[in-house]
Amino acid sequence: LLSTAIVESGIDIPGANTIIINDAHRFGLADLHQLRGRVGRFKVQAYAYLSVPSFEVIPADARKRLQMIEEFSHLGSGFEIAMSDLELRGAGNILGQEQHGFIWMVGFDLYCRLLKKEIEYLRQVFNIK
């Protein structure tokens, strides 16, 4: 199978058993997991090869992503990858426009209390019960 990253959105080629991801360091953790999941369906052995430049020249965050995708390569590792991605990038701001944030700086409990306080404030301002 020769394709662009569009294949990660769900194209299913049952006979494909090998994927080579060029410049894998440019992909996110979830993207890499989705891409390698496109091959080796059913009882077919899968092979995923990630092509990257020397580890010395790629950014530290890209190295971490590649190490995580290598570590979590067993069947059903999606949850572990999601949790690692959450730890690496942060949880985000569900009320704002940012795609990821720094929840780890304030902690989850404090974040939830701040969120509750803000929701109560907005309910008062807009008279929502």
Tokens of 127: 């008279």
State the sign of the Cα–Cα–Cα–Cα dihedral 79, 64, 110, 129: negative
Q: Report the distance separating Cα 121 and Cα 37, nearest Å.
A: 44
Query: Tens of pLDDT along 47-70?
Result: 999 999 998 899 998 999 999 999
Q: Are residues 62 and 96 in the same domain?
A: no
pTM for the model: 0.62
The enclosing domain of 53 has a CATH number of 3.40.50.300
Domain of residue 7, residue span = 1-88
Q: Are residues 79 and 117 in the same domain?
A: no
Q: Are residues 79 and 94 in the same domain?
A: no
Q: Are residues 65 and 95 in the same domain?
A: no
Lowest mean pLDDT among 47-61, 63-77, 82-96, 99-113: 99-113
Residue 99 is predicted with a pLDDT of: 46
Q: Are residues 4 and 63 in the same domain?
A: yes
Q: Report the distance separating Cα 73 and Cα 64, nearest Å.
A: 14
- With a pLDDT cut of 70, the percent of the chain lying above it is 80
